[in-house]
Amino acid sequence: MKRLVLVYNPRSSHYGRINRDVIGVLKAEEGLELAHFKIAQASVDVNAVNLAKVLRDGDLVVAAGGDGTAAAAMNGVMLSKAKDVSFSTLGFGNFNDTARTFGEPRLKEILHGDATEVWPLECLINGKHWRYGMCYFTVGMFAVACGVFDHPKTRHALRKGNKRVTFSMGVLAHWWLKCRKSEEFLPAEFLLGGASGEAVKVKGASDYLAINGLSVARIMRGGKWFLGEREFLSKTGELTKFGKLAGFMARSVLKRIPGIESEYDKLVFAKAASVMIQAEGEYEKFANVRTIEIRKAAKPLRAVMKG
């Protein structure tokens, strides 16, 4: 009997839909052992560690929720020592970048589909593992901007209606106009090294992005780097100026996020800095940062995607 571990947040505004469309269906599925993992009011990393401890060989882990729930579940699978664990996700969030990257599979496709190997990114801070990210990491202004979604009024508005993406873009635009010059998002000057060991000096950048999945915030186009074990898209730029941001967004929405393919990036700061880092909308501020490294994970993730 296959065991399916359903990961969800019982406090989510979409829990009613998850209970009806996912939990209710799974309970009626024959030949399936259903286990529940409820996201606690803790960080992605704490939830991931706790999930990793309860996984068994051969489990199928399905996240039902937004990108935060998917991130906790995916990191739990990556951290687990259990063998042949598979992962998939059902999007019930605001942007659902992970679900979009997997082709937005339906529950029946997940239950009866085959797993394929995909390769998440890994972020290390000061040489220590922080988190895996399936779709993207950002450092700087874009990461700081994620904080606007934690405002109580914003979170309440996101729970209403079907205009979440349009509303979210409006909230971000308002924040950018008001706050883009309020702080130094990245050190004024730092080194960016690659797989060759050579480093270039970067000046005046507000953001660094590493893209691995099909989309960022749903509307910005990425690619299928998650299917490969080495390369991802790397982009560094100054996005606090209207002209540069407008050009970047137009290219990202209509074509693809501009950047270069990289196998390894290392940001090196001359002095310890405080920076905001995010993976798929889940952000954290770190102090005393000297280095940030982005690379592909050392092992693949078994993912069940839309066929």
Say which amino acid occupies 267. L
Q: Which tens digit of pLDDT belongs to each residue from 280-302?
A: 989 999 999 999 999 999 999 99
Mean pLDDT score, 234-258: 94
Q: Is 95 left (phi over 0), alpha (psi -120 to 50) or beta?
A: alpha
Question: Is residue 284 within 8 Å of 43, Cβ to Cβ?
Answer: yes
Q: Which pLDDT does position 161 carry in this prediction?
A: 47
- Residue 182 tokens read as 């309020």
The answer on pLDDT for 169 being more than 70 is no
272's CB contacts (< 8 A; 6+ apart) are 287, 288, 289, 290
Query: Please, is 43 exposed, middle or buried when counting C-beta atoms within 10 Å of its C-beta (0-12, 13-18, 19+)?
Result: middle
Beta strand 2-8 with 32-38: parallel, antiparallel or unpaired? parallel
154's CB contacts (< 8 A; 6+ apart) are 148, 171
pLDDT-derived band of residue 172, with 50, 70 and 90 as boundaries? low
% of the chain surpassing 70 pLDDT: 90
Strand partners, 279: 137, 282
Domains of the chain: 2-93 (3.40.50.10330), 123-296 (2.60.200.40)
pTM of the model: 0.91
Q: Interior CA angle at 202 toward 189 and 213, to 5°?
A: 120
Q: Which tens digit of pLDDT belongs to each residue from 17-60?
A: 999 999 999 999 988 999 999 999 999 999 999 999 999 999 99
